[in-house]
Amino acid sequence: MTSTNDIRRSFLDYFGGQGHQIVPSAPLVPHNDPTLMFVNAGMVPFKNVFTGLETRSYNRATSSQKCVRAGGKHNDLDNVGYTARHHTFFEMLGNFSFGDYFKEQAITHAWTLLTKEWGIPADRLTATVYHTDDEAFDLWKKIAGLPESRIIRIPTKDNFWAMGDNGPCGPCSEIFYDHGDHIWGGPPGSPEEDGDRFVEIWNLVFMQFEQQANEIVGELPKKSIDTGMGIERVAAVLQGVTDNYDTDTFKALIAASCALTRTDAEGDRRASHRVIADHLRSSCFLVADGVLPANEGRGYVLRRIMRRAMRHAHLLGAAEPLMHKLVPALVTEMGAAYPELARAQPLIEETLKLEETRFRQTLANGLRLLDEATAGMGEGDTLPGATAFKLYDTFGFPYDLTEDALRGQNMAVDRAGFDAAMAEQKAAARAAWKGSGETAAQEIWFDIAEELGGTEFTGYAATEGEGTVV
Ligand code: ATP
Ligand code: MG
Ligand code: MG
Ligand code: MG
């Protein structure tokens, strides 16, 4: 079997052999973009190279980039445990051309690697193009020999990428793998495309135009290529499984959590083990890159991820903190490719243990409150926002943990009510400070806290840079 580690190596070797500089993954906390919470695509560390702000000694690069999509514009947190293809942490394999080769070579490389080097049967693959991109359509016919019925023109923004309102932009072409008709789902562009049958494995972005104030003003003088392929998705394909969570890395992590909790991963426990394995990876890699659980900012996103996994550990009947005991299994799987993981192992284990110990002190009481509150409720009902707020405020349940807890019973949470309760508490705190005769300094502190989103950090959704999709 081709291991995920082999696939990473083989991808980098292929592009290295084609004149690409092999660039190590950048840390998850972006150093060149304060509006972005976490690196969420392989191109992020190269943003300034694409815009011309920065030059490098090479004009072709390849990487396997650590990515987290758990907040902001790309938020896959709610998908984890429920789709076969989404993670909060994943690795994006990419090849990049900075004003060097363009569409024809990008498609040739992708096709050669997938079908010749890796031997994926051509008839399992479908490509999409932006609806007006005749050039890409014709290249797919010419290079891959794909029949027209398997080159799908997509008119939506899904197939048009832009770095923001200003800067490079252009059409994309996505490559989908068909796992077979025993899996539910339809081809891209169809109403059933969100099923797990046709899975997007690779996105090729053709940076072709220059945009100003959201309007295309001309062709780029130096056209560029940015591609991204989720390693976990292509590992599923190459390992002959239909689900990312059945690949080698995830099987090892899930086996470890099954062993430690003395449970299997059947029935309701399936999603729990998947959430634990996924969130373990994002938690460990974030801590290794210097993020610690906190009540705001990046640290709050991390805390939300950790606590959600910890609730699932509790659901599985874990009587004591579990997450830190899974770290060695992760280091075994990924420590060779990412030495920072092994270096930070003591800090990661300590951080997870402390967080889980703390959270477990209120978790059981919070879950009891939640059970009582939902006792009279049924499918399709909505939990009052005030209850969700109490769980947050008193028991340390991040909002989305409550949502996740109710999801299995098809119940929702009243988000507006939760936000209102939060706003009310903030106003009350502010009024109390006013009445206390404290100095203006506290006032300023409240202003800052509110600007930053206070303790409930919901991401940079409104301001996050657009240049975050590959
Ligand atoms: P999807 O439509 O499946 O959510 P996407 O179009 O959002 O994927 P891109 O932004 O194009 O994904 O990212 C490039 C590649 O990275 C995808 O083709 C996929 O292989 C991988 N990828 C994206 N999001 C995830 C995720 N949450 N977990 C695992 N792999 C991912
Ligand atoms: Mg997506
Ligand atoms: Mg997509
Ligand atoms: Mg895509």
Q: How far is the CA of 230 from the centre of ligand 4 (A)?
A: 10
Q: How far is the CA of 234 from the centre of ligand 3 (A)?
A: 15
Place of tokens 């109390």: 432
- Cβ of 336: how many Cβ atoms within 10 Å? 11
Q: Which two tokens stand for residue 230?
A: 């989720």
3-state secondary structure of 230: strand
Ligand 1, atom 19: closest residue by C-alpha = 230
Place of tokens 């009891």: 368
97 pairs with which residues across the strands? 60, 225
Report which secondary-structure segment, H or E, holds 205.
strand 198-212
Residue 203, ligand 1, Cβ within 6 A? yes
3-state secondary structure of 210: strand
Q: How far is the CA of 469 from the centre of ligand 1 (A)?
A: 9
Question: Nearest ligand, CA of residue 90?
Answer: 1
pLDDT of residue 470: 35
Place of tokens 């939990």: 383
* Type of residue at 208: Q
Question: Nearest ligand, CA of residue 67?
Answer: 1
Long-range contacts from 114-123, C-beta under 8 angstroms, 24+ separation:
114/175, 114/202, 115/144, 117/10, 117/14, 118/10, 118/234, 118/238, 120/177, 120/237, 120/238, 122/146
Residue 43, ligand 1, Cβ within 6 A? no
Cα distance from N-terminal residue to C-terminal residue, the chain: 29
Q: How far is the CA of 230 from the centre of ligand 1 (A)?
A: 6
* Type of residue at 304: R
Pick from 176, 235, 199, 203: which is nearest to 107 by CA? 203
pLDDT digits (tens, 9 = 90+) for 184-212: 999 999 999 999 999 999 999 999 999 99
pLDDT of residue 73: 76
Q: How far is the CA of 126 from the centre of ligand 3 (A)?
A: 13
Please tell me the distance from the alpha carbon of residue 431 to that of residue 429, in angstroms, as a whole number: 5
Residue 20, ligand 1, Cβ within 6 A? no
Q: How far is the CA of 3 from the centre of ligand 3 (A)?
A: 25
Question: Distance of CA 441 to CAs 175, 353, 424, Å?
Answer: 55, 36, 22
Residues of the chain below pLDDT 50: 451-470
Q: How far is the CA of 23 from the centre of ligand 2 (A)?
A: 24
Rounded to the nearest 10 degrees, the angle between the axes of helix 415-435 and helix 385-395 is: 60
Report which secondary-structure segment, H or E, holds 135.
helix 134-139
Residues whose Cβ atom is located within 5 A of ion ligand 3: 200
Residue 205, ligand 1, Cβ within 6 A? no
Residue 201, ligand 1, Cβ within 6 A? yes
CA angle 235, 236, 240 (to 5 degrees): 115
ipTM above threshold 0.85: yes
pLDDT digits (tens, 9 = 90+) for 381-429: 999 999 999 999 999 999 999 999 998 889 999 999 999 999 999 888 8
Ligand 1, atom 11: closest residue by C-alpha = 203
Pick from 423, 362, 425: which is nearest to 398 by CA? 362
Ligand 1 atom with minimal separation from the 92 CA = 16
Q: How far is the CA of 193 from the centre of ligand 3 (A)?
A: 10
* DSSP per-residue string spanning 402-446: HHHHHHTTT-EE-HHHHHHHHHHHHHHHHHHHHHTT--HHHHHHH
Pocket test for ligand 1, best of 8, 85, 114, 274 (most atoms within 8 A of CB): 85
